[in-house]
Amino acid sequence: MIEEEDARERVLGAVPETAGEKVALENCAGRFSCERVVARVALPGFDNSGMDGYAVRAEDAVVGARLRIAGVQPAGVDLGLVVEPGHAIRIYTGAPLPTGADAVVMQEDTELDGEWVRILDAAVLGEFIRRKGADVCPGEVLVGSGDRLTAAIAGVLASQGIAEISCGVPPRVTILATGDELVKPGDALRAGQLYNSNLPMLAALFRRAGAREVRMVSCEDSLAATTEVLREASRAGGMVVVSGGVSVGDRDFVKPAMVAAGYSAGFWRVRVKPGKPFVFGKHEASGALLFGLPGNPVSAYVTAMLFALPALRRWCGAGETFSTVSVMLEAALTNGGDRPHYLRGTVRDGKFSQSGLQQSHALAGLAGSEVLVRVEAETRLSAGSWVRALVVM
Ligand code: AMP
Ligand code: MG
């Protein structure tokens, strides 16, 4: 049995170097950048007005002043106008600031009087002027390699005249559910049977986490069938995520089948709860990585989050392999066992409380959870303590 961190390190070490592909900015949200983007264009690109109003010399624009309107400066063209003392220039939002102007008085604070404008509220030096480079200066790093891209980042990149960015290429993922007791939706349940919940649950998880293409396959409990589907799955490359059949029962065929199908047995069993029987391997010929998750739905989900999702993120080019938040414990959490325990729970106003049954088959507790909190073996965390929690997707 190996430690969780050791297991994750081995998994991440097996992930291939991320390949890059150009992605249009409109499609980049949720992807990971594999390039560093440095600003070439200042933002704003020139001093301009933040309001529709009048560009003035602040010292002239006192309450009651009448200023002569010497011209109009629209947005989109620089007329090269100058504000002389005692004058104002009619100006619009985003229009280049005339030389000599050091404030803009907004239209609502003025009164038009023919070729004159009366100031109702005094100008403040610099007010409503957006200075060149105040937001972004050329040379500034806008995106680092490994950064998660958002729609807002797409916006700032677009401001640079860029149309696309190089992103990591997500792997294909095959989800494989083993178990003779599993029934597909629409079929009637006979005594002892249950619906296959891991297959769609894990497929949804990997799709949501950014997998390129997710295939779902079910498999009966036999060495021959398991070997065949594992071999077939390796052909697609990427990640193969198997649920069930990784434990010590006579009907658990994943370990012998993975060897027979050409996967190396990387490691088996991790000191973590839930999820001890987790197994990891790599297909020698195709490079596909195999993640053997326990069949119990919560164990499957938690081990997917702890080992397979970090691998997916790394494969996609992510710098950070986890998404975490800081939470405060509403009540004490106790782990009397000899393995670190990941407890499922919700967060309300920053406070964590457990959700539902904390057992490895208890799907409803998992479904009601937002985060996982790790409690070390033989440890009590008191109410009010702050911990980092993993965000459930
Ligand atoms: P196993 O790891 O194959 O021994 O399965 C452990 C437990 O998880 C058993 O109670 C199985 O019935 C259950 N299980 C396995 N696979 C699934 C699945 N795809 N959906 C729901 N339950 C499952
Ligand atoms: Mg089974």
Contact 246, 278 (CB under 8 A): yes
At 165, give phi and psi (nearest 5°).
-140, 145
CA-proximal residue: ligand 1, atom 17 (nearest): 295
Computed over every residue of the chain, the mean pLDDT equals 97
Mean pLDDT of 98-123: 98
CA 371 to chain centre: 15
Class for the domain spanning 21-43+138-168 = alpha beta
- At residue 326 the predicted structure's pLDDT band, cuts being 50, 70 and 90, is very high
pLDDT category of residue 393 using cuts at 50, 70 and 90: confident
Task: Round to whole Å and give the CA distance between 113 and 107.
Answer: 13
Ligand 1 contacts CB of residue 370 (under 6 A)? no
Average pLDDT over residues 272-292: 97
Q: Is the pTM of this model over 0.75?
A: yes
DSSP letters for 146-167: TPBP-HHHHHHHHTTT--EEEE
SS3 152: helix
pLDDT average, residue stretch 357-365: 94
The predicted model gives 18-30 an average pLDDT of 95
- Mean pLDDT for the stretch of residues 283-304: 97
The average pLDDT across 90-98 equals 98
SS3 assignment, position 309: helix
Rounded distance between C-alpha atoms, residue 168 and residue 155, angstroms: 20
- How many Å lie between the centroid of ligand 1 and the Cα of residue 362? 12
How far is Cα 113 from Cα 103, in angstroms, rounded to an integer?
20
Distance 237 CA to ligand 2 centre (A): 24
Percent of all residues in the chain with a pLDDT value above 70, rounded to a whole number: 100
CA distances to 21, 149, 237 from 33, rounded to whole Å, are 10, 7, 22
CA of residue 15 to ligand 2 center, whole Å = 27
Atom of ligand 1 nearest to the CA of 246: 2
With a CB cutoff of 8 Å and minimum separation 6, the contacts of 218 are 176, 177, 178, 182, 184, 196, 199
Q: Is the CB of 197 under 6 A from ligand 1?
A: yes
Rounded mean pLDDT of 71-83?
A: 98
The string of pLDDT tens digits covering residues 262-277 is 999 899 999 999 999 9
Q: Where are the domains of the chain?
A: 2-18+169-316, 21-43+138-168, 48-130, 324-391
What is the rounded average pLDDT of the residues 339-344? Answer: 97
Q: What is the pLDDT of residues 183-204, one digit of tens each?
A: 999 999 999 999 999 999 999 9
Cα→Cα distances 190→182, 207, 251, Å: 10, 31, 20
Give me the CATH code for the 324-391 domain, please: 2.40.340.10
Examine the pLDDT at 61 and tell me if it is beyond 90: yes
Q: How high is the pLDDT of residue 238?
A: 98
Probe residue for ligand 1, chosen from 180, 190, 198, 276 as the CB with the greatest number of ligand atoms within 8 Å: 198
Q: Tell me the pLDDT tens digit for each residue of 215-267.
A: 999 999 999 999 999 999 999 999 999 999 999 999 999 999 999 999 998 99
Measured from the CB, is residue 220 less than 6 Å from ligand 1? no
- Name the CATH architecture for the domain at 48-130: Beta Complex (2.170)
Structure-token match 């600003």, residue found: 39
Going by C-alpha positions, the residue among 302, 264, 319, 318 that lies closest to residue 286 is 264
- CATH number given to 2-18+169-316: 3.40.980.10
Q: Is 196 in the pocket of ligand 1 (CB under 6 A)?
A: yes
Whether ligand 1 lies within 6 angstroms of the CB of 210 is answered as no
